[in-house]
Amino acid sequence: MSAIVITGGKPLSGSVRVQGAKNSALPILAASVLNAGQSVVGNCPDLSDVDSSIRILRHLGCAAERAGDTVTVNASGMNRFDIPESLMREMRSSVVFLGAILSRAGEAVMSYPGGCDIGPRPIDLHLSALRQMGAEICEEGGFLRCKVKEFTGCGIHLPLPSVGATENIMLAAARARGTTRIFNAAREPEIADLQNYLNAAGGRVSGAGSSTIDVEGVPELRGTEHRVIPDRIVTATLLSAAAAAGGEVTLTDACPLDASAVISVLTDAGCEITARGTELRASRRGTLRAMGRVRTMPHPGFPTDAQALVMAAACRADGVTVFSEKIFQNRYQHAMELLRMGADIQIEGEVAVVRGVPKLYGARVCSTDLRGGAALAVAALAAEGETELSGLEHIDRGYEKFEAMLAALGADIKRV
């Protein structure tokens, strides 16, 4: 079993490029089955979750190849509509294939999706929306058997702005009869990226980024080229690392606007963060201050995916930071591992109270989920001595060349 060994305690310094966004690449790869042409998806990060999507596409009969950071999908040969359980369990995002496969093939068979263990992750909103659009869905023994003659546009009110459900509806609606209007849609930047891909393919989607999205169905989509947006959570990871360890880092190919909620919290804590175009410079020379209250919210609020990362920095800050996790029920598992490193954290339900300590110490810790694992690495960079971090399969789901990325900032890190 491999592990990452980090010797912490020294400030970071250097420049690194931010990878393309995992959470954009996955729905866009699913969307590529909506047309029978060729989709060329650039800035596609090299991750195990993207590999899982490629394997799903190949299973469906599509050609899917990676060359450098570009994944090319030719969906002309698609001849299946099922996804094997083993592939469904590899990641949560496999569920966005549902709307796309149903739209293209009129049928879909798959099991419930897997993914990080951060609390219950139901898909009731996805299924309810697809039913409202005309799908017949039979849920039996952990499997979904779905059919649709033709999706029909309608008004869909989401009780909460689910990212995945918004994406599934957009995929089902792109070639539906009539117009679909999504009320209380998710406003994450990845939704706008999916809209841009669909429109480049001949779709008629508008409103992404706001809470009302209109999708006017078109009879056909065509192959297209698209470049995935920068990953705002990887950006948050690197900024949190600079906040925790100190020093000065430069991030290139970033989207500062998409990371603004995290930038604002870290700036209040005493980091100096400046944006110029797609470049971000972050430094922390003095003491890191506690962050007051950090409450996770749907975008443009503070992202739940950055909670663990910023918490790792808060462990070393001067004062008390109170986190409220509003999106997922079980997203503090990393805190138990941070305690091994000397952190002072108390958890009561959705609230975590972090009292900054003068020193963290290297320890043997284990990733419990993707962002929680990265957060342990952030803490390790700020800790005295050596940390051995296992459970790397979680980190590899979302970070491309994780150690190389941190080594480019001068971190003493190696995979053993």
**Residue 124 binds ligand UD1 (CB under 6 A):** yes
Q: Which residue, 246 or 369, has its beta carbon nearer to ligand UD1?
A: 369
Cα 32–chain centre separation: 19
Q: Single out the segment in contact with ligand UD1 by CB under 6 A; choices: 55-63, 118-126, 144-152, 312-320.
A: 118-126
Q: Single out the segment in contact with ligand UD1 by CB under 6 A; choices: 114-122, 135-143, 284-292, 350-358.
A: 114-122
Give me the residue whose beta carbon is nearest to ligand UD1. 164
- 91: tokens are 């990641």
Q: Which residue, 163 or 345, has its beta carbon nearer to ligand UD1?
A: 163
Q: Which residue, 92 or 227, has its beta carbon nearer to ligand UD1?
A: 92
Active-site residue, from 44, 62, 116, 315: 116
Encoded one letter per residue, x for contact with ligand UD1 by CB under 6 A and - for no contact, window 182-211 reads ----x---x---------------------
Applying CB under 6 A, what is the total number of residues that bind ligand UD1? 22
Give the largest Cα separation in the chain, rounded: 63
Q: Single out the segment in contact with ligand UD1 by CB under 6 A; choices: 61-69, 78-86, 115-123, 402-410.
A: 115-123
Query: What pairs with residue 214 in β-bridges?
Result: 181, 206
**Residue 305 binds ligand UD1 (CB under 6 A):** yes
**Residue 23 binds ligand UD1 (CB under 6 A):** yes
Q: Catalytic: 146?
A: no
CB distance 32 to 57 below 8 Å = yes
- What are the residues whose beta carbons fall under 8 Å from the beta carbon of 292, sequence distance 6 or more? 268, 321, 322
Burial class (CB in 10 A: 0-12, 13-18, 19+), 79: exposed
- Contact residue for ligand UD1 among 74, 93, 224, 283 (CB under 6 A): 93
Question: Is the bond preceding 11 in cis, omega lying within 30 degrees of 0?
Answer: no
Q: State in angstroms the smallest separation of the CB of 222 from ligand UD1.
A: 25
CB distance 306 to 371 below 8 Å = yes
**Residue 327 binds ligand UD1 (CB under 6 A):** yes
- What are the residues whose beta carbons fall under 8 Å from the beta carbon of 146, sequence distance 6 or more? 98, 102, 107, 108, 109, 130, 135, 136, 137, 138
Angle (CA) 71-277-282 rounded to 5° is 100
CA distance readout (Å), 305 to 16, 121, 124, 227, 371: 21, 15, 22, 22, 6
**Residue 105 binds ligand UD1 (CB under 6 A):** no
Question: Interface residues for ligand UD1 in 138-177 (CB under 6 A)?
Answer: 160, 162-165
Beta pairing class for 179-183 and 212-216: antiparallel
- The dihedral through the CA atoms of 370, 372, 376, 382 has a sign that is positive
Q: Which residue, 81 or 328, has its beta carbon nearer to ligand UD1?
A: 328
Q: Single out the segment in contact with ligand UD1 by CB under 6 A; choices: 104-112, 117-125, 201-209, 242-250.
A: 117-125
Query: What pairs with residue 17 in β-bridges?
Result: 252
- Contact residue for ligand UD1 among 9, 50, 82, 126 (CB under 6 A): 126
Annotated catalytic sites, by residue? Answer: 116
Would you tell me which residues interact with ligand UD1 (CB under 6 A)?
23, 26, 92-93, 120-126, 160, 162-165, 186, 190, 304-305, 327-328
